[in-house]
Amino acid sequence: MITPPFASLFQRFFTDRLGTQMEASPNTIAGYRDTFRLLLRFAAEKLGKTPTKLQMEEVDVNLIGDFLTHVETVRHNSARSRNTRLAAIRSFFGYVAMNEPSYLLHCQRILAMPGKRYVRRVVDFLDRPQMDALLAAPNLSTWISRRDHTILLVALRTGLRVSEIVNLRWQNIIFGTGAHVSCEGKGRKQRCTPIRRDSLAALEAWFRERAGAADDPVFPTIRGDKMSRDALERVVRKYAKASCLACPSMAGKRVSPHVLRHSTAMELLQNGVDQTVIALWLGHESVETTQIYVHADLRLKEKALARVTSKDSPPGRYRPEDDLLAFLESL
């Protein structure tokens, strides 16, 4: 039986499996693309042949193990990033196993490779003074600074993901009564996020200045194009650094757009919003995902500790204040 070469199966995986069968999102395809671009270059250098001439048998469990070690030690990826790379590789070899039984044993060895355990750190977030300092960092004297201030305000008030912010169009923002942002989040889940008054006023002012069409990006570049994820991350880092003068606690703090998303969730939690509502607000698949914020909120733990009776305090006991109540207690 003639089996297709590695390159043929590889291309079919991206076109048929991801593109047609799964209808994977552009972000998912881009993540898989980056993983396999690194893997193919690593394999080509290690085996001394171009990626097109690679054979399925050569891309084995040992080569992939060496590649995963390479991304950790040479590229300095975290264990979590390593596991993400491995998940993409498993997906490809799972497809090969289903479509080419002759490679089943070869694929099973790779599919059995375990993910690496890592320390689940407490999520980073900004408190109220830090958020205020970040929002005050843009001086609002230029078009760019006013755009950036609106970006930071929307990110902190709505908790949108990076991809959701850069893909926002004016038609996604509903002004007036019941103002909200409508977006398509991770997993193609549609959701509506309410807009607070201060955010709505800033968006209305930005809309009057921008005066874009319904399909135009809300936060464009100077050329009018959609911002990239990297550009948005640079905006956040720029003003996080600038806010250190007004808020020293920001110094040395690693602030990213996802930290702003965490800050939104923590503010909701600290103001007594139920975890289920926060999960819906952020577009989480499960309420269990939202529990990371409970673990990170020290104030909630301190409140719980305050309710606990001290070890040295005398034990409390109910004592009736009336003879009739005492009679009832004696029954």
Active site residues: 161, 186, 258, 261, 284, 293
For the chain, helix, strand, coil in percent to 5 are 60, 5, 35
Dihedral angle over CA of 174, 178, 181, 186, nearest 10: -140
Six token digits for residue 169: 């169009």
Query: Cα–Cα distances in Å, from 99 out to 2, 4, 104, 105, 246?
Result: 13, 10, 9, 13, 60
Residues 130 and 249: beta-carbon distance below 8 Å: yes
Query: Cα–Cα distances in Å, from 157 out to 118, 150, 202, 273?
Result: 31, 10, 12, 14
Six token digits for residue 25: 């999102």
Residue type, 228: S
| Nearest one of 293, 127, 278, 266 to 194, comparing CA atoms | 278
Distance CA(165)–CA(133), nearest Å, equals 21
Distance CA(290)–CA(329), nearest Å, equals 45
Residues 31 and 88: beta-carbon distance below 8 Å: yes
